[in-house]
Amino acid sequence: MKGVRFLRKTKYILEFKNIVKTFPGIVANDHINLKIKRGDIHALLGENGAGKTTLMNILTGLYAPNSGEIYINDKKVKINSPKDSINLGIGMVHQHYKLVDTLKVSENIIIGSHKQKWMINNRVIFDEIISLSEKYGLAIRPNELVGNLSVGEKQRVEIIKMLYRNVEILVLDEPTSVLTLQECQNLFKTLREMKRQGKTIIFISHKLNEVMDVADTITVLRQGKIVNTLAKVDTNPIELTRMMFERETETITKNTLKDLQKAETVLVVEGLKALGDEGEISLNDVSFSIKKGEILGVAGVSGNGQKELAEVLTGLRPLVKGKIIIQGKEIREYKPIEFINNGISHIPADRIGVGTIPDFNCIENVILKTYRKQPIKKGLILDFKEANKIGEQLLNKYDVRISSYYIPVRLLSGGNLQKLILAREISCNHQLIIAVHPTYGLDVSAVNMIHKFFLEEQKKGVAILLISEDLDEILALSDEITVMYKGKLTPKQLRQKCSIENIGRAMMGI
Ligand SMILES: Nc1ncnc2c1ncn2[C@@H]1O[C@H](COP(=O)(O)OP(=O)(O)O)[C@@H](O)[C@H]1O
Ligand SMILES: [Mg+2]
């Protein structure tokens, strides 16, 4: 099989013909026909569950399709294992990395590669890794243990690992979901460089803006089927949004206009103005209100003032102008404790920096907001036994999975960390939850659990300000929706009256 890829240069490097893949009770890939052009950055766009990862797992030999064929350079191929796919020049960077924490970066890159021979000179390998790293702008530290790397750096190691295997087709599954904005920009630069070197990239994403940024060709998948394949220059975010989401309107039992009109108002903000970290105006005359038991979704592309809004509403950022009124009482002191005492809970975007104290253990973190009160505080002393008992109960209830609750939270996975934050935030008295990208980068089961939690809180009459980039999440949970763009909010509208098209348009500022 080796060598097939070098035979001749065809226009389409890869083709899927009639691929069908089912799981019990679901057709994950429903007769997929797709051609990928050589040297293209080809995006697979679709909401969660559309079937993107499944199709790529078939391409990389992790799943066998029920039926259908794959062609590379117009030649039918059989891919029965990841090894077959590597031999055909196909490599994939998975959403959950497959590196070995206890090995060095360089060791991770070479393991399993056909070049790995004990007699190969370490220096040669090292030089090759460095040269790939420089050529593609992928900063790494070859001698560091993988266990010590940030997620962004792990991703760069995964990419170099594939380049080291000389792949021609590189698949990246939701590569930006764990990256900072700066890291995303760097990744896109790397992808463009790979394209320049003639490589073909398949880029999986459910984010419109980044697909519009980096892709040449876009294929939209929905519920296991291909909706369309288009050149980027021939489409626009509104059309893509429509293709991604169009479906039978679901009937979710949500609050009606009447329910909301009857409810008491929990929070009113009027004419908020605040500055960003660089002194720029980040909130520009923001006004809105939320009622008891209401979930207000704030959609929008990150960086339009969402972070600052959440910070202002939790006392973490000063106001330049405006009023914040919680349950009829105007807040005068802009300090976190003032907001906590007035019943505001915060689920921040930054789980490890703002959300938790990394070196404190799970129990200490989960009782952070309650230890000053009964029953943990008895007179002047803290009852540690009681603290441990309460902490353990909370962590159990919220299904935080870790070998011991007495290890530092920096060792927790993203999903477990977020569950710990939820457990803590509900343990204090609150009327309003400010949640920022609450499910960003989490796996499906953690996402479901967090959504269930929000709906339960809502039933108890808690109001939720849900700030999220994930349109699906906004649509699934919100009673009313507003869009943030360049520091301003659009007037809120009932979820039932919002069309994807309108939200998409407001998100893009058009
Ligand atoms: N190993 C599996 N077992 C059962 N169902 C699966 C498995 N992998 C994916 N699915 C289901 O197939 C559908 C498509 O999933 P997936 O390809 O992961 O979507 P996407 O990557 O577009 O979010 C989903 O409904 C998912 O739950
Ligand atoms: Mg996926």
Q: Examine the domain organization and report whether 183 and 306 are in the same domain.
A: no
| Dihedral angle computed from the Cα positions of residues 432, 296, 478 and 418, in that order, rounded to the nearest 10 degrees | -50
- The predicted pLDDT at position 439 comes to 87
What is the distance in A from the centroid of ligand 2 to the CA of 54?
Answer: 7
Identify whether 288 is part of a domain: yes
User: Which whole-number Å values give the CA distances from 414 to 59, 164, 351, 437, in the listed order?
Assistant: 28, 29, 8, 12
Poorest-confidence range of 68-72, 148-152, 157-161?
Answer: 148-152
- The predicted pLDDT at position 255 comes to 61
CA–CA dist 44, 50 (Å, integer): 10
Identify whether 56 is part of a domain: yes
pLDDT category at 428 given cuts 50, 70, 90 is: confident
Q: What is the mean pLDDT of residues 262-287?
A: 93
Question: Which tens digits make up the pLDDT trace of 43-75?
Answer: 999 887 889 999 999 999 999 999 999 999 999
Q: Residue 44: what are its φ and ψ, rounded to 5°?
A: -105, 110
Q: Examine the domain organization and report whether 308 and 330 are in the same domain.
A: yes
Q: Examine the domain organization and report whether 444 and 501 are in the same domain.
A: yes
Give which of 31, 60, 81, 75 is closest to 171, Cα–Cα: 60
Q: Whose CA is nearest to atom 17 of ligand 1?
A: 51
Q: Examine the domain organization and report whether 193 and 298 are in the same domain.
A: no
The answer, yes or no, to whether residue 212 has pLDDT greater than 90, is yes
**DSSP labels, 326-394:** ETTEE--S--HHHHHHTTEEEE-S-TTTTS--TTSBHHHHHTTTTTTSTTTEETTEE-HHHHHHHHHHH
Identify whether 1 is part of a domain: no
What is the distance in A from the centroid of ligand 2 to the CA of 401?
Answer: 23
Task: For residue 330, give every residue at least 6 positions away whose Cβ sits within 8 Å of its Cβ, in sequence order, or none.
Answer: 323, 324
Q: Examine the domain organization and report whether 74 and 126 are in the same domain.
A: yes
Q: Which of 228, 245, 262 is the last residue of a domain?
A: 245
What is the distance in A from the centroid of ligand 2 to the CA of 48?
Answer: 6
Q: In percent, how much of the chain has pLDDT > 70?
A: 94
Residue that wins the pLDDT comparison between 179 and 463:
463
pLDDT category at 489 given cuts 50, 70, 90 is: very high
Q: Which helix (H) or strand (E) holds 163?
A: helix 151-164
Q: What is the mean pLDDT of residues 24-32?
A: 89
The closest-lying atom of ligand 1 relative to the alpha carbon of residue 57 is 17
State how many domains the chain has. 3
What one-character DSSP code corresponds to residue 408? B
Q: In percent, how much of the chain has pLDDT > 90?
A: 54
Q: Examine the domain organization and report whether 99 and 228 are in the same domain.
A: yes
- The predicted pLDDT at position 256 comes to 61
Q: Whose CA is nearest to atom 3 of ligand 1?
A: 23
Give which of 295, 343, 226 is closest to 495, Cα–Cα: 295
- The predicted pLDDT at position 505 comes to 80
Q: Whose CA is nearest to atom 18 of ligand 1?
A: 53
pLDDT category at 252 given cuts 50, 70, 90 is: very low
User: Which whole-number Å values give the CA distances from 352 to 25, 52, 126, 256, 421, in the listed order?
Assistant: 38, 30, 33, 37, 10
- The predicted pLDDT at position 6 comes to 52
Q: Examine the domain organization and report whether 416 and 437 are in the same domain.
A: no
What is the distance in A from the centroid of ligand 2 to the CA of 55?
Answer: 9
What one-character DSSP code corresponds to residue 447? H
256 is in which domain, residue-wise? 249-343+429-510
**Mean of pLDDT over the chain:** 88
**Do 344 and 432 form a contact (C-beta atoms < 8 A)?**
yes
Instruction: State CA 220 to chain mean position distance.
Output: 19
- The predicted pLDDT at position 404 comes to 86
Report the half-sphere exposure of 150 (CA within 13 A, side-chain side).
9
Question: Which tens digits make up the pLDDT trace of 188-205?
Answer: 999 999 999 999 999 999
Identify whether 150 is part of a domain: yes
Q: Examine the domain organization and report whether 156 and 280 are in the same domain.
A: no
Identify whether 292 is part of a domain: yes
Identify whether 103 is part of a domain: yes
Ramachandran quadrant class, 137 (left: phi over 0; alpha: psi -120 to 50; beta: rest): left
Q: Residue 54: what are its φ and ψ, rounded to 5°?
A: -55, -45
Neighbours of 212 (CB within 10 A): 17
The answer, yes or no, to whether residue 1 has pLDDT greater than 50, is no
Q: Whose CA is nearest to atom 24 of ligand 1?
A: 49
Q: Examine the domain organization and report whether 399 and 295 are in the same domain.
A: no
The answer, yes or no, to whether residue 250 has pLDDT greater than 50, is no
Give which of 96, 53, 47 is closest to 441, Cα–Cα: 96
pLDDT category at 117 given cuts 50, 70, 90 is: low
Identify whether 55 is part of a domain: yes
Give which of 231, 229, 220, 257 is closest to 45, Cα–Cα: 220
Report the half-sphere exposure of 20 (CA within 13 A, side-chain side).
7
The closest-lying atom of ligand 1 relative to the alpha carbon of residue 46 is 22
Q: Which of 245, 262, 282 is the last residue of a domain?
A: 245
CA–CA dist 292, 459 (Å, integer): 10
Q: Whose CA is nearest to atom 2 of ligand 1?
A: 23
The answer, yes or no, to whether residue 320 has pLDDT greater than 60, is yes
CA–CA dist 303, 307 (Å, integer): 7
Q: Which helix (H) or strand (E) holds 181?
A: helix 181-196
Question: Which tens digits make up the pLDDT trace of 35-51?
Answer: 999 999 999 998 878 89
Q: Examine the domain organization and report whether 233 and 254 are in the same domain.
A: no
User: Which whole-number Å values give the CA distances from 52 to 23, 45, 46, 424, in the listed order?
Assistant: 14, 8, 7, 35
Q: What is the mean pLDDT of residues 91-112?
A: 90
Q: Examine the domain organization and report whether 198 and 99 are in the same domain.
A: yes
Ramachandran quadrant class, 293 (left: phi over 0; alpha: psi -120 to 50; beta: rest): left
Q: Which of 245, 278, 303 is the last residue of a domain?
A: 245
Task: For residue 112, give every residue at least 6 positions away whose Cβ sits within 8 Å of its Cβ, in sequence order, or none.
Answer: none
Question: Is 176 touching ligand 1 by the criterion CB < 6 Å?
Answer: no
CA–CA dist 286, 298 (Å, integer): 12
Domain CATH number, residue 441: 3.40.50.300
The answer, yes or no, to whether residue 114 has pLDDT greater than 80, is no
Question: Which tens digits make up the pLDDT trace of 446-466?
Answer: 788 888 889 989 999 999 999
pLDDT category at 247 given cuts 50, 70, 90 is: low
Ligand 1 probe mutation, 19, 20, 23, 96, most atoms within 8 A of CB: 23
Instruction: State CA 279 to chain mean position distance.
Output: 28
- The predicted pLDDT at position 434 comes to 95
Q: Examine the domain organization and report whether 20 and 143 are in the same domain.
A: yes
Query: Of the ligands numbered here, which is closest to the C-alpha atom of 51?
Result: 1
Ligand 1 probe mutation, 30, 53, 54, most atoms within 8 A of CB: 54
Question: Is 448 touching ligand 1 by the criterion CB < 6 Å?
Answer: no
Identify whether 4 is part of a domain: no
Residue that wins the pLDDT comparison between 428 and 332:
332
